[in-house]
């Protein structure tokens, strides 16, 4: 008797059971990242700390600002007649460019390797843009005079917001007397006159003494009028500045 074979049933091959993948914790070596000595962007002037790259404080339009700019090392000194003529022309052109008054250069001092500016602005952005335009103008003028190319200023500018009449008066005295201060410290700065003519002092009306400079009317005014109360009237609460006042030496 013949028998018929039973039909074969398909069976799936069983895969070996595998464990689910798990994340492994890898130890990180210490000494990389984070705050530590020597970290951060290096200054452009060797041996000098640069201005920290942190967010700047907000600026209200009622406050003037004292700005300091350092020159790159190896460049000629700024306190010479030809260089100062180029700087003063750049200041005047910058003032004429900012007719809206969003940024105003009110006072300045030119030293051998740095500049001091007292400015007003409608806010932090207006100050940054105004300074950027002014620095580009200055760099172009100086590079043309020196027959060179490249950056002129060493690092970010340093600024100090002046919030009181006393602070404003101290800043004015510092800016107008900084040349005499350097001369008293034995640096290569000479101020033979009652006022430093490498500053905006010839156009300043807040001295106690009456100052008359011959030929000043023939020079284009390199600064603009202040508008803040602190820089026009407030600082006068502590008295006018004498041409003989000098900031304290180091």
Domains of the chain, CATH where assigned: 65-167+174-238 (3.30.70.1290)
Cα–Cα distance, 189 to 180 (Å, whole number): 8
Compute the average pLDDT of residues 83-97. Answer: 94
pLDDT digits (tens, 9 = 90+) for 32-42: 555 555 554 55
pLDDT of the residue at 49: 47
Distances (CA, A) of 195 to 14, 71, 142, 191: 98, 24, 25, 8
What 3-state DSSP class applies to 232?
A: helix
- Cα angle 116-226-215, degrees, rounded to a multiple of 5: 75
Distances from the Cα of 139 to the Cα of 104, 158, 166, 182, angstroms: 19, 18, 33, 24
Average pLDDT, the chain: 84
What is the structure's pLDDT at 224?
96
Given a cut of 70, is residue 20 above it in pLDDT? no
What's the predicted TM-score (pTM) here? 0.77
Q: What pLDDT score was predicted for residue 247? A: 84
Question: Which among 165-169, 190-194, 241-245 has the top mean pLDDT?
Answer: 165-169
CA-based nearest residue to 135, from 155, 121, 111, 160: 155
Question: For 170-207, how does the pLDDT look when each residue is reduced to its tens digit (9 = 90+)?
Answer: 999 999 999 888 877 777 687 878 899 999 999 999 99
pLDDT of 219: 93
pLDDT in the model for residue 6? 59
**Comparing 156 with 30, which gets the higher pLDDT?**
156
pLDDT at 21: 58
Which residue stretches of the chain are H helix? 81-97, 124-146, 165-184, 229-232
Q: Which of 65, 15, 72, 94 is nearest to 168 (CA)?
A: 65
């Amino acid at each position: 008797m013949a028998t018929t074979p039973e039909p074969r049933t398909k069976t799936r091959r069983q895969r070996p059971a595998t464990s689910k993948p798990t994340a492994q914790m890898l130890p990180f070596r210490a000494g990389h990242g984070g705050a530590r000595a020597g970290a951060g962007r290096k200054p452009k002037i060797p041996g000098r700390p640069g201005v920290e790259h942190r967010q700047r404080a907000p600026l209200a339009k009622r406050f003037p600002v004292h700005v300091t700019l350092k020159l790159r090392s190896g460049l000629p000194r700024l306190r010479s007649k030809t260089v100062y003529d180029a700087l003063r022309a750049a200041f005047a052109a910058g003032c004429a460019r900012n007719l809206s008054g969003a940024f105003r250069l009110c006072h300045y001092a030119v030293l051998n390797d740095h500049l001091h500016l007292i400015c007003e602005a409608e806010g932090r952005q207006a100050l940054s843009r105004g300074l950027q335009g002014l620095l580009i103008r200055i760099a172009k003028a100086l590079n043309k005079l020196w027959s060179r190319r490249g950056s002129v200023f060493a690092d970010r500018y340093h600024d100090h917001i002046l919030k009181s009449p006393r602070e404003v008066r101290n800043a004015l005295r510092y800016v107008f007397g900084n040349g005499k201060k350097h001369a008293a410290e034995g640096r290569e700065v000479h101020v033979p006159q009652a006022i430093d003519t490498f500053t905006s002092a010839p156009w300043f009306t807040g001295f106690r003494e009456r100052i008359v400079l011959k030929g000043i009317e023939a020079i284009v005014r390199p600064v603009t009028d202040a508008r803040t109360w602190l820089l026009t009237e407030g600082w006068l609460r502590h008295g006018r500045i004498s041409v003989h006042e000098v900031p304290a030496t180091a």
